[in-house]
Amino acid sequence: MSIASNIQEINRTLTPESKLIAVSKLQSPESIMQAYEAGQRRFGESRAQEMTAKHKVLPDDIEWHFIGHLQRNKVKYIIPFVSLIQSVDSPALLEEINKSAEKTSRLVPCLLQVHIAREKSKFGFTPDELKQFMQEGSWKKLGHVRLHGLMGMATFTDNMDQVRQEFRLLRHLFEEIRSGYFSKDESFKELSMGMTGDYQIALQEGSTMVRIGTALFGVREKGE
Ligand SMILES: *Cc1c(COP(=O)(O)O)cnc(C)c1O
C-alpha cells in the first residue's frame, strides 16, 4: 500500500469531529512529502531537533505538532513555528513554554498530557495531579499559552476493553475540565487519543485527534 492510499483509508474512518495527525518521527522528508502531496498537512514529531530540521526543508503550510517528551532547554527551538504542543507533561514545562512564547510574541496552543496507561512512565499528569493543577489556577496567569485540551496514550496491550476504559477515563476528565474551567472558552476542544493499534476505539470514545505513524508510513526503522 502507498502512503497516499493509507491516508485515504484512514481519512475514511475519521468522524466529522476528528483530525489525522501523521506521526512522521524517524521518517524522511521524502516520505513526508508523499503524504503532503496526498493532501496531509498536520504532522507529529517527538524530537525538537528533528522537527526543527524538517520544518526548515519542508513546505511552510505544514502544521507541526509536538508529541514527545519536551525538555525545557529545547523549548526555544520549536516555539517560533510549532502549531500545537500536545505533550505538556508538567507545570514547569508549561511555564517554560510561556516564557519562550512571550519572547517571540506568540500565543502557543498546548494540550496537557495525562498518564492514563498502566505502564510506569515518568511523563504526564496523573488524573489527580491534573485536577489539582487546574484547581490551583496559576495556569490562568500564563498569557502566552492557551490550553486547547488533553492528550493521552492507552496501555500497549491486546486487551481492547482496558484500552477503551482508559480512553473513557480521559474523555471524562476532558469533559469535567471543560465544563469546570472553559465553559466560556471554545478553544478548549481537543481530545488527542488513538494511535495505529487503537485509533478506531479512540474515535468511538470521542477522540478529536488521532496520531498515526505506522499505519500511514509503515514500520519505523527504530522504535520509540
Ligand atoms: C510514535 C507515537 C505515535 C504513533 O504511533 P504509531 O503506533 O506508529 O501509530 C502516537 N503518539 C505518540 C505520542 C507517539 O510517540
List pLDDT tens digits, range 58-88: 999 999 999 999 999 999 999 999 999 999 9
At 202, which CATH number?
3.20.20.10
Over residues 5-21, the mean pLDDT reads 97
Measured from the CB, is residue 22 less than 6 Å from ligand 1? no
The domain containing residue 30 runs over which residues?
Answer: 3-217
What pLDDT shows up at residue 73?
98
- Whether pLDDT at 184 is above 80: yes
The sign of the torsion formed by the CA atoms of 96, 99, 101, 106 equals positive
Q: Give CA–CA dist 37/57, Å, rounded.
A: 15
What pLDDT shows up at residue 223?
52
CA of 193 to the centre of ligand 1 (A): 10
What pLDDT shows up at residue 86?
98
Distances (CA, A) of 10 to 40, 138, 210: 11, 39, 10
Over residues 88-95, the mean pLDDT reads 98
- Decide if 148 is inside a domain: yes
Q: Residue 121: which pLDDT band, with cuts at 50, 70 and 90?
A: confident
| pLDDT above 90 as % of the chain | 96
Strand-pairing partners, residue 147, are 110
- Whether pLDDT at 224 is above 60: no
Number of domains in the chain: 1
- Decide if 222 is inside a domain: no
Distances (CA, A) of 221 to 24, 25, 156, 159, 217: 12, 10, 19, 26, 11
- Decide if 224 is inside a domain: no
Measured from the CB, is residue 211 less than 6 Å from ligand 1? yes
Question: Tens digits of per-residue pLDDT, 155-177?
Answer: 999 999 999 999 999 999 999 99
- Decide if 101 is inside a domain: yes
Q: Residue 129: which pLDDT band, with cuts at 50, 70 and 90?
A: very high
Measured from the CB, is residue 121 less than 6 Å from ligand 1? no
What would the grid cell of residue 70 be?
519536551
- Decide if 50 is inside a domain: yes
Over residues 20-34, the mean pLDDT reads 98
CA of 121 to the centre of ligand 1 (A): 15
- Whether pLDDT at 52 is above 70: yes
- Decide if 150 is inside a domain: yes
- Whether pLDDT at 21 is above 90: yes
The model's pTM is 0.97
- Decide if 223 is inside a domain: no
- Decide if 173 is inside a domain: yes
Atom of ligand 1 nearest to the CA of 211: 10
3-state secondary structure at position 61:
coil
